[in-house]
Chains A and B, each alone.
Chain A
């Protein structure tokens, strides 16, 4: 052990070649998904945009969650995040793709957002008062700004991490820490306004100040729910085989439990306050989500996004068993999509409480289209870096068997 390195400097840490197979399958899924979405677009473009928005937000949530978790780890250090640092990092390099995938939303803006429809705005005084913010060009400019912030912070940190590997030095971690603090602040601000732009403004009359934080809490759940199955995949393949241990999954399980509780806390706070206040312009948002079939989605979220994972994740044995933990994570991943669907879709019936709930096959097709593309890109990014940051000072602690 020289220079306090936890692993010999010449250890082969390149990502497993089996990722090529994953990528091929992702491309297949993407091709089918894109073809189906294309067909759906030709048949019903409005429905396509509605489904696409949710699908895009779902995959963006995973990438943003990985970004935030990585920043949090780089700021606070500690051993928990080092084992998956590169798994998180690869997700932050997908922002350019996700920015490109924002284009359909710009094209469909008029069909998605009431405030972008002049004929609606003309008859709606409340929306007229909000036009300083809900204005199409400003909306696009803000999106460009958010992505510029995310891409540049991710770029700086990824570059520093790569330099750390090539310079073989401990020196750069402090510089990364220096960027991580302001990075988190910028993330929180951009994500908050993005949540207002892309989700909250679907119902342009409604507002809730906890919405941004809730959106961020969702990202954290998404990131861990993605990370755990991916980490499971690597436990059986070199170079991480034998290095990713039950105690690491124990930590991820604890974090997942914490973020599930946090998400629930935000949701419950919002519900109690709006229910108690019972103001017409606020409570109708909940009415739209508890009437008709939506009631069942609300119940499914309460059970699947909180009660079930909460009870399961209390078990220490489950958290230490990567396979069972991954199945809980996959349930939560599905719930993340359902949560976004629950936030977005009721707004499309525009106050018509009889519209009720109706899933569309495009909801599924778009998830596969975006997800296939994203995963293909993601696996490619994974293969670009060694799977562990060897020159991180706490890596030795992270690799220890038990504490």
Chain B
């Protein structure tokens, strides 16, 4: 066949033509092994300052308590939960790309899975901070775990908040394992290519004695596939449990059966937006257009559009059911979102999450990275607003008008949130500098030279 079906369909290649195993290895490992570019120091410096802000806010919190936040009755859940859900949702794209797309044999995942997984880990790290500090006395957070003790303390297993402890811990552990196992062959490459002794030792420890023998590769493939199988249900389970945190309650605006699938779709939506937010500048900064091609941008834009449509479906069903139910609290909740004191949040949310992604229907738009980047930024903001609307507007005006109130984040609420963004970026900068951001050995497997020549049939 002179033309493959992909060419017929007008799809850009997964790797730009002309690359060999050697050039791929050179290009990706050079990012780690060459001199540090100046912009890296600037970026890392800013992120590092924001980490200091996070540490300051956390210190202040431990010294004074959650009173420094804007929380009060009736809004007992605020920024901490919003940020927790926002961060954990972002993580989901990494797991989807690395596990589900692997099982679906989507070869385009190869050049984006490594940093998407790293993104997952860092996002989960940021997410994990919030429930821990929200308990008020974080040094007693281990009480959340079921362990034998003399205080007669035992978690309430019917509460999804406890399921969260297990879901998120499992998620963090499996993501870490998956990421690390995937790194081993590449750490060996870095060990072999480093010129300094100490670098060889450090990467050598990480590579765990990898020699690239057939037995190593065989064991590796088995382990990686098993981990992918283990990680797959986590894409669904973690955010399902998060949605239960809200949905099992009786608050109008929380108690909706659509929540689990709609939260999972929202998480993947947010996650792909974040992967695009990172991938588009990175491919420009490191000249990786050959590896992260238009094909990747287009495919991710499509996933973002599809999951965005599911999220929009969720909004629509919520609106319809509020009126169909004939339940006055449901109906009021919705009217309060549309026209109440937080109406700008709600309308901005629709603009960001429903309207903006619709431009991705157009093929020409999907082929322009910076427009896709812009759409992704809208989604990043929109998904934060979505959680704000769900948490705050449902709580601030509940069943009794006498108990209504307003909520807004204080300086320390914002400082903590911005601080976690700093932590996320700082970890990401370190990752870019010290580990290969694209899987070197997997890239080699999708090169044309790695393809078995096919016998031509009649």
A296: min CB distance to chain B, Å: 24
Interface assignment of A330: CB less than 8 Å from any CB of chain B: no
Cα separation A77 to B1 with both chains bound (whole Å): 19
Q: Is the CB of A277 within 8 A of B255?
A: yes
Cβ of A133 to closest chain B Cβ, rounded Å: 6
**CB-based contact B258/A210 at 8 Å:** yes
| Interface residue A208 (Cβ < 8 Å from any Cβ of B) | yes
Q: A166 an interface residue at 8 Å Cβ cutoff?
A: no
The answer to whether B326 and A269 have CB atoms under 8 Å apart is no
Does the CB pair A4–B361 fall under 8 Å? no
Q: Range of interface residues on chain B?
A: 35 or more
In the complex, chain B residues whose CB is within 8 Å of the CB of A192: 313, 317
Q: Which residues of B contact A323 (CB under 8 A)?
A: none
Inter-chain CA distance A207–B327, complex, in Å, is: 10
CB pair B259 A393 closer than 8 Å: no
A-contacting 9-mer, from B60-68, B84-92, B242-250, B281-289:
B242-250
Neighbouring A residues of B36 by C-beta, 8 Å: none
Q: Does B250 lie within 8 Å of A397, measured CB to CB?
A: no
A213 part of interface (Cβ distance < 8 Å): yes
Q: Is the CB of A265 within 8 A of B258?
A: no
Alpha-carbon distance between A129 and B248 when the two chains are bound, in angstroms: 26
Indicate if the CB atoms of A393 and B321 lie closer than 8 Å.
Answer: no
A356-B249 Cα distance, complex, nearest whole Å? 31
Please state if A130 and B259 are interface contacts (CB–CB under 8 Å): no
Known: A130-B324, A277-B249, A393-B9. A210 touches B2 (CB 8 A): no
B318 A209 Cβ-Cβ under 8 A: yes
Closest to B328 in A: A129
Q: Which residues of B contact A127 (CB under 8 A)?
A: 326
B8 contacts chain A at the CB level, 8 A cutoff = yes
| A129–B309 CA distance with the chains assembled, in angstroms | 30
Q: Which of B1-53 contact A (CB under 8 A)?
A: 1-3, 5, 8-10
Provide the main secondary structure of the chain A interface: helix
Q: Is the CB–CB distance between A133 and B324 below 8 Å?
A: yes
Contacting residue for A1 out of B1, B10, B261, B321, CB 8 A: B1
| B 318-362 contacts with A by CB, 8 A | 318, 321, 323-327, 361
Q: In the complex the two chains form, what is the Cα distance from A362 to B256 in whole Å?
A: 36
Taking the complex as formed, is A141 at the interface, i.e. its CB lies under 8 A from any CB of chain B?
Answer: no
B158 with A276: CB separation less than 8 A: yes
The answer on a CB contact under 8 Å between B3 and A209 is: no
B257 and A273 contacting across the interface, CB-CB below 8 Å: yes
Is the CB of A196 closer than 8 A to any CB of chain B? Answer: yes
The CA of A396 and the CA of B456, in the complex, are separated in Å by 12
Partner of B321, one of A174, A207, A270: A207
Residues of B within 8 A of A188 (CB): 313
* A394 contacts B5, C-beta separation under 8 Å: yes
Contact A185 B309 (CB under 8 A): yes
Which residues of B are found within 8 Å of A211, using beta-carbon distances? Answer: 257
Q: Is the CB of B458 within 8 A of A1?
A: yes
- In the complex, chain A residues whose CB is within 8 Å of the CB of B382: none
Query: B255 — which chain A residues lie within 8 A by C-beta?
Result: 273, 277, 279
Q: Using a Cβ–Cβ cut-off of 8 Å, how many residues does chain A contribute to the interface with B?
A: 40
| Bound Cα distance from A127 to B325, whole angstroms | 10
Task: Say whether A209 contacts B256, CB under 8 Å.
Answer: yes
* A130→B325 CA distance, assembly (Å): 8
- Find the A residue at minimum CB distance from B314: A209
Known: A210-B257, A269-B261. A4 touches B1 (CB 8 A): yes
Residue on B with the closest CB to A126? B326
Known: A276-B158, A394-B5, A396-B1. A265 touches B325 (CB 8 A): no
Residues from chain A with a CB closer than 8 A to the CB of B318 are: 209
Are A273 and B5 closer than 8 Å at their CB atoms? Answer: no
Known contacts A181-B361, A273-B244, A276-B158: A209-B1 contact under CB 8 Å: no
CA distance A133 to B248 in the complex (A): 28
- Evaluate whether A129 and B3 lie within 8 angstroms (CB atoms) in the complex, with A209-B318, A393-B9 already known: no
Docked-complex contact B8 and A4, CB < 8 angstroms: yes
Closest to A131 in B: B326
CB distance from B334 to the nearest CB of A (A): 12
Residue A170 at the chain B interface, CB threshold 8 Å:
yes
Looking at the assembled complex, report how far the CB atom of A336 sits from the nearest CB atom of chain B, in whole angstroms. Answer: 20
How distant is the Cα of A277 from the Cα of B8 in the complex, in angstroms? 53
CB-defined contacts of B458 to chain A, threshold 8 Å = 1
Q: Mark A386-403, 1 if CB is under 8 A from B, else 0.
A: 000000011011000000
Task: Report the minimum CB–CB distance from A342 to chain B (whole Å).
Answer: 17
Q: In whole Å, how far is A304's beta carbon from the nearest beta carbon of chain B?
A: 22
Q: Once the chains are docked, how many angstroms separate the CA of A170 from the CA of B457? A: 21
User: 8 Å CB contacts to A: which residues of B359-384?
Assistant: 361
Distance in angstroms between the alpha carbons of A67 and B8 in the assembled complex? 26
Once the chains are docked, how many angstroms separate the CA of A258 from the CA of B117?
Answer: 24
Most buried by B among A126, A185, A211, A213: A213
Is B260 at the interface (CB under 8 A from chain A)? yes
Contact with A along B222-247 (1 / 0, CB 8 A): 00000000000000100010001001
Cβ of A272 within 8 Å of any chain B Cβ, yes or no, is yes
A212 touches B326 (CB 8 A): no
Contact assessment for A208 and B257 in the assembled complex, using a CB-CB cutoff below 8 Å: yes
Least CB distance, A3 to chain B, in whole angstroms? 9
Smallest beta-carbon distance A6→chain B, Å = 9
Q: Least Cβ distance of B388 to chain A in Å?
A: 21
Residues of A within 8 A of B10 (CB): 174
- Does chain B have a CB within 8 A of A116? no
Chain A residues, Cβ within 8 Å of B1: 1, 4, 396
Is there a chain B Cβ closer than 8 Å to A266's Cβ?
yes
Instruction: Indicate the member of B260, B309, B323 with the most A CB atoms within 10 Å.
Output: B260
In whole Å, how far is A164's beta carbon from the nearest beta carbon of chain B? 13
Pairs across A and B, CB under 8 Å, 8 listed? A1-B457, A1-B458, A4-B8, A208-B257, A209-B317, A273-B257, A276-B244, A276-B247
Extra contacts besides A127-B326, A133-B324, A209-B317 (9): CB < 8 Å? A173-B9, A205-B326, A208-B257, A213-B261, A269-B240, A277-B248, A279-B250, A281-B327, A393-B9
Interface residues of A (CB under 8 A from B): 1, 4, 77, 126-127, 129-130, 133, 170, 173-174, 181, 185, 188-189, 192, 196, 205, 207-213, 265-266, 269-270, 272-274, 276-277, 279, 281, 393-394, 396-397
